[in-house]
Chain A
Amino acid sequence: MKILVCVSKTPDTTSKIAFTDGNTKFDEAGVQWIINPYDEWYSLVRAIELKEANPAATIHLVTVGNADAEPIIRKALALGGDEAIRVNTDNSDAYYIAAQIAEVAKQGGYDLIFTGKETIDYNGSSIGGMVAELVDSPYISLATKFDLNGTTATVVREIDGGEETAEVTLPVVVSCQKGMAEQRIPNMRGIMAARTKPLKVVEPIAVDALTSIQSFELPPAKAGVKLVAPDNVAELVRLLHEEAKAI
Chain B
Amino acid sequence: MSVLIFIDQSEGHVKKSSLEALTYGADVAKQLGTTAEGIVLGTVTEDLAALGKYGVSKIHQVSNAALNNVDAQVYASVISEAATATGATVIVFSHNQTGKAVAARVAAKLKAGLVAGACALPNTSNGFSVKKTVFSGKAYAHVNILSAVKVISLNPNSYKTVATEGTAVVEALAVTVNEPKVKITAVNKITGEVPLTEADIVVSGGRGLKGPEHWGILLDLAKELGAATACSRPVGDAHWRPHHEHVGQTGVQVAPNLYIAIGISGAIQHLAGVNRSKVIVVINKDPEAPFFKAADYGIVGDAFEVVPQLTSAIQKMKAGA
Chain A, 212-229, contact with B by CB distance < 8 Å: what is the 0/1 string?
111111110011011111
* Assembled-state Cα–Cα distance A239/B280 (Å): 12
- Residues of B contacting A215 in the complex (Cβ-Cβ under 8 angstroms): 141-142
Within 8 A of B (CB), among A70-126: 93-95, 98, 118, 120-126
| A139 and B105 contact, Cβ closer than 8 Å, known pairs A133-B76, A210-B146, A219-B276 | yes
- Whether, in the assembled complex, A178 has its beta carbon less than 8 Å from a beta carbon of chain B, the answer is yes
Interchain CB contact under 8 A, B133 and A123: yes
Contact among B97, B250, B292 with A38 in the assembled complex (CB-CB below 8 Å): B250
- Residues of B contacting A127 in the complex (Cβ-Cβ under 8 angstroms): 104
- Residues of A contacting B145 in the complex (Cβ-Cβ under 8 angstroms): 210-211
Within 8 A of B (CB), among A130-180: 130, 132-134, 137-142, 144, 154, 158-169, 178-179
| A141 and B97 contact, Cβ closer than 8 Å, known pairs A168-B181, A211-B145, A244-B296 | yes
Contact among A95, A154, A160, A237 with B8 in the assembled complex (CB-CB below 8 Å): A160
Interchain CB contact under 8 A, B188 and A164: yes
Identify which of A10-18, A54-62, A193-201 touches chain B: A10-18
Classify the secondary structure of B's interface with A: mixed
Residue of B nearest to A210 (CB): B113
| A236 and B184 contact, Cβ closer than 8 Å, known pairs A13-B250, A95-B114 | no
Contact among A163, A166, A236, A241 with B183 in the assembled complex (CB-CB below 8 Å): A166
* Assembled-state Cα–Cα distance A209/B97 (Å): 25
* Assembled-state Cα–Cα distance A215/B129 (Å): 10
- Residues of A contacting B316 in the complex (Cβ-Cβ under 8 angstroms): 234, 237
- Whether, in the assembled complex, B63 has its beta carbon less than 8 Å from a beta carbon of chain A, the answer is no
- Whether, in the assembled complex, A204 has its beta carbon less than 8 Å from a beta carbon of chain B, the answer is no
| A124 and B116 contact, Cβ closer than 8 Å, known pairs A160-B96, A160-B195, A210-B145 | yes
- Residues of B contacting A239 in the complex (Cβ-Cβ under 8 angstroms): 297
- Whether, in the assembled complex, A190 has its beta carbon less than 8 Å from a beta carbon of chain B, the answer is no
Classify the secondary structure of A's interface with B: mixed
- Whether, in the assembled complex, B1 has its beta carbon less than 8 Å from a beta carbon of chain A, the answer is no
Q: Which of B100, B180, B309 is most buried by chain A, counting CB atoms within 10 A of its CB?
A: B100
User: How near does chain A come to B138, taking the closest CB pair, in angstroms?
Assistant: 4
- Residues of B contacting A217 in the complex (Cβ-Cβ under 8 angstroms): 131, 139-142
User: How near does chain A come to B123, taking the closest CB pair, in angstroms?
Assistant: 9
* Assembled-state Cα–Cα distance A120/B246 (Å): 15
- Whether, in the assembled complex, B73 has its beta carbon less than 8 Å from a beta carbon of chain A, the answer is yes
Q: How many residues of A contact B (CB 8 A)?
A: 80
- Whether, in the assembled complex, B81 has its beta carbon less than 8 Å from a beta carbon of chain A, the answer is no
User: How near does chain A come to B128, taking the closest CB pair, in angstroms?
Assistant: 10
Interchain CB contact under 8 A, B146 and A165: no
Interchain CB contact under 8 A, A228 and B293: no
- Residues of A contacting B146 in the complex (Cβ-Cβ under 8 angstroms): 208-212
Identify which of B157-165, B167-175, B299-307 touches chain A: B299-307
Chain B, 189-203, contact with A by CB distance < 8 Å: what is the 0/1 string?
110010100000100
Residue of A nearest to B195 (CB): A161
* Assembled-state Cα–Cα distance A223/B117 (Å): 26
Interchain CB contact under 8 A, B302 and A227: no
* Assembled-state Cα–Cα distance A38/B184 (Å): 24
Q: List 22 A-B contacts (CB under 8 A).
A: A129-B76, A129-B104, A129-B105, A130-B104, A130-B114, A133-B104, A133-B108, A134-B108, A159-B189, A164-B188, A166-B183, A210-B146, A213-B144, A216-B134, A218-B138, A219-B140, A225-B297, A229-B299, A230-B306, A234-B313, A236-B281, A244-B296
Beyond A167-B182, A219-B275, A222-B293, 13 additional contacts (C-beta under 8 Å) are A125-B95, A126-B107, A138-B180, A159-B98, A160-B96, A211-B144, A213-B142, A218-B138, A219-B140, A227-B298, A237-B317, A246-B201, A247-B317
Identify the 4 closest CB pairs spanning chains A and B, nearest first: A230-B301, A129-B104, A210-B113, A162-B189
